Amino acid sequence: MAKFFASKSPDISDREKRNMERARKIASQGMVLLANNGALPLAETGNIALFGNGGRKTVKGGTGSGDVNSRFVVNVEQGLEEAGFTVTTKGWLDRYDATVEEAKAAYGAQMKEAVEKTGAMPILYLFDHPFKEPPIPAVTEADCQSAASDTALFVLARNSGEGKDRRPVAGEYTLFPEEEEAIRTLRAHFGRLIIILNVGSVIDTGFLRRESRADAILLMSQAGNIGGYALTDVLTGKVTPSGKLTTTWAERYEDYPKAAAFSHMNGDVDDEYYEEGIYVGYRYFDTFNIAPAYPFGFGLSYTTFRTETEKVSADAENVSLTVKVTNTGDRHSGREVVQVYYSAPQGRLEKPYQELAAYAKTKDLAPGESQTLEISFPTGRMASYHEEQASWILEKGEYYIRVGNSSRNTAVAAAVVLDGEAVTEKLSNRLALDCQMDSLSAKEVAPYTYEGEQAQKDSAPRIPVSAGAVPCTEAVYRKENSQLPEADGRKLTMDDVRSGNAALDALTAQLTVEEMAELCVGTARGGMGGSSIIGAASAACPGAAGDTTSRMIEDRNIRNMILADGPAGLRLSRHFSVDRDGNLIPGSEDSSLAELGMLFAQREKPRIPEDAVTYYQYCTAIPIATLLAQTWDTDAIAEAGDIVGGEMEELGVTLWLAPGMNIHRNPLCGRNFEYYSEDPFVAGCCAAADTLGVQKHKGVGTTIKHFAFNNQEDNRMHVNAHIGERAIREIYLKCFEIAVKTAQPMSIMTSYNLINGTHTANSYDLLTAIAREEWGFEGIVMTDWGTTGSIEMNPGQKFKYGCSNAAGCIRAGNDLTMPGSQADVDEIVRSVGAKEGEVACPITLGDLQACAGRMLKVIAASSVYEDAKPYRG
């Protein structure tokens, strides 16, 4: 009989209340004040006029696997009312509600018709054809006059998600004409106009900056299910905004590198050429001297700060700074972020104008109060990857150390002078480029500069460092997976291994090929969740994304792990019922997908017996990853992870399919809200903190994803990303490397796409040579759902590039194919010991044993056993 961990009480629990309060505090720290002429904070409560599509229908987070089914969502209207404001524009908000409901009904009918006609799964229709919020109704003269307030808040919301990239069109990247007209009307009728951006990714702010004449613009982002309260904390000054952008907001979409060639923009979603190379985000804008609307690292406060670099020291191993920050305001306390950048010398390798090396955030400083921060980073962090040498190198010359509070507001504090070239790490060439591709060059370009920069360089203290003293490491690569010695003796169990009475290899060696194949393939046997056996004979968690096999529980006590989405909290069914024998009543659970997924199907509700038991598993929707990153506070991010880790322990989830940590390469990527930053150092630090927060709990772990180069959603399962090795290592893998080396996540999830002609799920270079042998990763690697073709995303459609192969996953070191299918198991079994030409991808018994052994190691350390300890790798 299945074991259920959920609560039998429908009442809101102390855990929910506690975690929502924690999420509220975290969310307020990541909101970014973009403009303010003194309108904020709001001096007093009273009447307030609320408009915009996010005023009542506030977006807590994006769609798809990034969604979370919380008990409720506190919108902006409710947040204002809780703080004592009277919202006087309910009539307008009601009109917009009616508009949305009408649009949803039409969308549901359209979806139902399309699904019945094509036979596609509803969730896949949602991915390809997401619901789009309709334009807002007009704001009339009567609406303004009846508001009885001098202050108007306009909440501009945007949503996006898995499976679809955004378009640079009205209602997505740009404003609807109706929104622009409404803002003009509000500006004409209200003394104070405040724009709130309830968006998960960059939008075009040209109209807001140039024409709206707004008194304040605040990036609320998407703050989870308690976001309305968190926003009001900032609006009223209960919390002083201290968030900073982790992505450059451009003046125009066209200002981003290779903007016209991204994803669908050039009509080719089969091949994506990363011709910009290392020039991503501020590295591009600063190097090519393109003025952004809001630079990387930017964010205002209700107070002002003075930042003074008191000391810089350096040697062959570390660069250290002592920085004093003082709150120079006289009314509000606040926090400041000190950002440390370096500018490397130009040599054989081109270098960006500057790159982030370290950062630190102050405590809450009262007016006049100071804090001295000690900030340091490894000298080797300033190295660049040289493809011909297959090494990370520090070239001879001056490395300028810059200190400031955004990429466009720094001052040179020192120059580290290296007397020769130093190699910091020796590797081997991997993930070879599969085509001829010209990368962007800045050789003939004058970079960004500012008045007095050269004088700062000339007067900066010089700190000599000997290249010969710089430490160097060298990766060791193994040849092949050796077959384990044949097992003999009594039948071993997981209890023998966990008690120390048997070696893990001995248990692995006793397993048959069929048993190991089952262990390395998820339990779904009917597509995405259809006819799956999630939780059978062990633990059950309705709404979870999948689980590992329970086939060997009875004879070997090898238990199954439960895996659950998504990046902003656990995505589970909120309630479900079981019969007197403990069996889940089909259809009793609510969908773990977004509510729109059920609009097309008016399914008949099942009969629930009188003696049935109903369970509840409400989870906390924490802020999206981008907002978390905007806190620039790893302690706050670790606390967000702690929230999720605690709920995993309570509800029986072993692996959280998060955090997402791909680079914000282009603002149109549909899943940017799930990711942290355009900067790999920020992204890596955030993912590490999130992981450490989760993995402080017994036997649960994160699954950092999508490994790697998942920077577009259109045709995501079949797109071939063509990227040079330097950009691969410096930009797109560096964040994963930091997370692995700092926090040892329990798992890594591969992406759908190909990298230079090979599916990431089948890439030995990526999964074994780089992740395990270069970085020392000790957990398991799993595929994303359906990468081997077990889920047919587009029935009958032909693609330039096909699917990955289940046996190829084993050969590459991809331990778990999800969600699983019988075809995956059969492919692995027939490929063991096969010869070239007999199967698509021959593998050895040693290959399969290596994957099975890693699966057993993680299962042994996981929460499926009551005495599990926090996972450390």
Q: Give catalytic residue positions.
A: 784
CA-nearest of 115, 124, 114 to 162 is 124
Q: What share of the chain is helix, strand, coil (3-state, %, to 5)?
A: 30, 20, 50
> In angstroms, rounded to a whole number, what is the distance separating the alpha carbons of residues 257 and 279?
8
182: Cβ contacts below 8 Å, ≥ 6 apart = 51, 52, 136, 138, 139, 154
Question: Is residue 803 classed as helix, strand or coil in its secondary structure?
Answer: coil
Question: Is residue 722 classed as helix, strand or coil in its secondary structure?
Answer: strand
> In angstroms, rounded to a whole number, what is the distance separating the alpha carbons of residues 380 and 394?
7
Question: Is residue 43 classed as helix, strand or coil in its secondary structure?
Answer: coil
* Phi/psi at 87 (5° precision): -80, 120
In total, the chain counts a number of residues equal to 873
For 266-369, where are the E strands, in sequence order?
271-273, 292-294, 305-314, 318-327, 337-343, 355-361
Q: Got the DSSP string for 724-786?
A: -HHHIIIIITHHHHHHHHHH--SEEEE-SSEETTEEGGG-HIIIIIIIIIIT---SEEE--TT
> In angstroms, rounded to a whole number, what is the distance separating the alpha carbons of residues 593 and 362?
39
Measured on CA atoms in the order 404, 407, 409, 415, is the torsion positive or negative? positive
> In angstroms, rounded to a whole number, what is the distance separating the alpha carbons of residues 25 and 231?
10
Q: Got the DSSP string for 678-701?
A: SSHHHHHHHHHHHHHHHTTSBT-E
DSSP category for residue 635: H
Residue found under tokens 């040849």: 479
Measured on CA atoms in the order 707, 708, 713, 714, is the torsion positive or negative? negative
- The two tokens of residue 850 are 């290596």
> In angstroms, rounded to a whole number, what is the distance separating the alpha carbons of residues 50 and 42?
14
For 120-270, where are the E strands, in sequence order?
151-157, 192-198, 216-219, 249-250
- Residue 621 CA, chain-centre distance (Å), reads 14
Burial of 536 (0-12, 13-18, 19+ CB in 10 A): middle
> In angstroms, rounded to a whole number, what is the distance separating the alpha carbons of residues 361 and 682?
13
User: Do 642 and 32 meet the contact criterion of CB atoms below 8 Å apart?
Assistant: no
Question: Is residue 531 classed as helix, strand or coil in its secondary structure?
Answer: coil
DSSP category for residue 196: E
> On the CB side of 230, how many CA atoms lie within 13 Å of its CA?
33
Strand partners, 463: 416
Listed as own residue / partner, the contacts of 597-600 with beta carbons closer than 8 Å and 24 or more positions apart are 597/122, 597/123, 597/126, 599/104, 599/105, 599/107, 599/108, 599/111, 599/112, 600/108, 600/109, 600/111, 600/112, 600/115, 600/122
> In angstroms, rounded to a whole number, what is the distance separating the alpha carbons of residues 200 and 840?
41
